[in-house]
Chains A and B, each alone.
Chain A
Amino acid sequence: MIDRDDALRTRIHAALDGVYQPDPGLLRRAVEAAERRQRHAPRLRALLAAALAVVAAVLVVVLTLVQHQLSNGNHGPVRTPAPATRHLIYTLDAAGTVAALDPQTLRPVWHAAAGAPPSDSDPASLLRLSADGRTLWVLPLTDRRGGTTLRSFDAASGAPGASIPLSSQGNAAYHALAIDPSNGDLVAVGQDATRILVTVADPRRGVVLSTVATRTLPGAAPVSLDLSTEARFSADGSRLYYSYGGGDPDRSGVDWVTVQGATLTPCAPARPGAACIPGSGLGFALVGNDLLTLDNGAPQHLIELTAGGAPVRRLTTGLAAAGVTDPVLSGDGRTAILVGECAGLGGLARVDLAGGAAQALSTPGAAGGLPSAATPCGSRPHLLSDGTLVVARLDTAAANANSPAALQVIDPTTGRILRQTTTLAGIVDVVEGP
Chain B
Amino acid sequence: MADATAALFLDVRVGDAQAFEAALAPVIGQAHRLATGMLRDPAAAQDAVQEAAIKAWRKLDRLREGAELGPWFLGIVANECRTTLRSRWRRSVGSLDTARLAAPGRTGDVEQSQDVLSALAALRHSDRLVVVLHYWLDLPIDEVAAVVGASPSATKARLYRAVEKLRDRLGGEGRW
Contact = CB atoms under 8 A, between A and B. Distances in A.
Contact of B53 (A4, A23, A30): A30
A16 B136 contact: yes
Interface string A10-41: 01111111111111001111111111011001
A15 B117 contact: yes
B103 A33 contact: no
A19 B36 contact: yes
A31 B132 contact: no
Contacts of A16: 33, 36-37, 116-117, 120, 132, 136
A15 B53 contact: no
Contacts of A7: 176
Interface residues of A, number: 30
Given A7-B176, A31-B17, A26 B49 contact: yes
A31 B53 contact: yes
Interface stretch (B21-29, B81-89, B148-156): B21-29
A20 B50 CA distance: 16
Interface string A259-275: 00000000000000000
B112 A28 contact: no
A interface, over-half SS: helix
Contacts of A38: 15, 54, 57-58
B102 interface: yes
A375 B74 CA distance: 94
Contacts, number: 118
A8 interface: yes
B17 A15 contact: no
Contacts of B98: 19
Contacts of A35: 15, 17, 20, 57
Contacts of B70: none
B173 interface: yes
A9 interface: yes
Q: Which 7 A-B residue pairs are closest in the complex by CB-CB distance?
A: A18-B103, A30-B53, A15-B116, A15-B113, A34-B57, A31-B21, A12-B135
Given A22-B32, A38-B57, 15 more contacts: A13-B136, A15-B102, A16-B132, A18-B101, A18-B102, A19-B36, A20-B33, A20-B42, A26-B49, A30-B50, A30-B53, A31-B20, A33-B53, A34-B17, A35-B20
29 contacts: A9-B136, A12-B120, A12-B132, A13-B136, A14-B109, A14-B112, A15-B113, A15-B117, A15-B120, A16-B117, A18-B102, A19-B98, A19-B101, A19-B102, A21-B42, A26-B49, A27-B21, A27-B24, A27-B25, A29-B50, A30-B50, A30-B54, A31-B24, A32-B17, A34-B17, A34-B54, A35-B17, A37-B54, A37-B57
Interface of A: 4, 7-9, 11-23, 26-35, 37-38, 41
Interface of B: 15, 17, 20-21, 24-25, 28-29, 32-33, 36-37, 40, 42, 46, 49-54, 56-58, 98, 101-104, 109, 112-114, 116-117, 120, 131-132, 135-136, 138, 163, 166-167, 170, 173, 176
